[in-house]
Amino acid sequence: MDNINVLIVEDTPAESDALVKVLTENNYNIAGIARTYQDALTLFYQNTIDIVVIDVFLDGKADGITFAETINIVPNSVKPFVFLTSSKDRQIFERAKLTKPFSFLMKPFNELEILYALEMAVEKFYGQSNAFHSEDQNAVISNDSLFIKKNKSLKKVQIKNIVYIEVEDRYCNIITETEKFVILISLTKIIQLLDPAKFFQTHRNYIVNASKIQEIIVNDNLIVLKGNHKVTLSDKYKDFVKNFRVLK
């Protein structure tokens, strides 16, 4: 389970310091602090970034919005971002709103508010609104990562590292090669969100990452996965074996 990498675009050191303090306290990883539009672009494309926090006004100009607009141009590399602003000026907001998905945070803000804003940004960006705050879910699934709300902060797990998922009531045990943890999400939802070419249901309670399969023992209704994890293969889902070329 990895920390989330945050890029801060903020020209006032006092404010960026406060932000850094709050975020590090909550186990966020600060990937960089940009003071200008140009810095921001450089840092954004050089590092692995999960979320960007952008001050609307950089040195008195609305460069923050310009930055958001710039990264919005390349759809594949764009990441969730949050605007920070002390002004509720409508014109600025109307412009900022065009950089969808758009979430913002009014200054001054407290710890809870900035964390909430980051979560909202992730939710909205991946189109899974209210995922972190509903009673029966605490995770957002993107193409390559699983964002999990753990206590007050967010964590991520690379989907390719997942070996298998075991469903237990409303919970899912996520088993990676190195660790094991529980997230709150329904089976139907997680199947919907995972890539069907990579993950297969083998049992009422199991979802398996196909790339981690080492052996399928059909007779024993057993699948052996990387790390010697064993998962049951029920008759109902045996069909998925057809997806593999069987050597005879």
Q: How far is the CB of 184 from other proteins (least distance, A)?
A: 12
C-alpha to C-alpha distances, 201 to 133, 164, 194, 241, nearest whole angstrom: 27, 10, 11, 11
| Binding track, positions 73-102, relative to other proteins; x by CB under 8 A | ---------------xxx-xxx--x-----
CA dist 45 and 25 (Å) reads: 26
Nearer to other proteins, 89 or 144 (CB): 89
Contacts to other proteins from residues 104-123, by CB under 8 A: 106, 110-113, 116
Q: Six-digit token pair at 53?
A: 């926090």
Nearer to other proteins, 138 or 202 (CB): 138
Q: How far apart are CA 182 and CA 168, in angstroms?
A: 9
For the CB of residue 94, give the shortest distance to other proteins in the complex, in Å: 8
- Which span (129-137, 194-202, 203-211, 217-225) binds other proteins, by CB under 8 A? 129-137
Find tokens 């389970």 and name the residue: 1
Q: How many CA atoms lie within 13 A of 221 on its CB side?
A: 9
Q: How far is the CB of 113 from other proteins (least distance, A)?
A: 5
Residues found in the chain: 248
Binding mask 36-75 for other proteins (x = CB under 8 A): ----------------------------------------
Burial class (CB in 10 A: 0-12, 13-18, 19+), 241: middle
Q: Please, which residue, 171 or 237, has the CB nearer to other proteins? A: 171
First to last CA, the chain: 39
Chosen residue from 46, 130, 211, 234 binding other proteins by CB under 8 A = 130
Single out the residue of 21, 100, 107, 133 in contact with other proteins (rule: CB under 8 A): 133
Strand-pair category, 171-176 with 145-150: unpaired
Residues lying near other proteins in the complex (CB under 8 A) are found at 88-90, 92-94, 97, 106, 110-113, 116, 129-130, 133-135
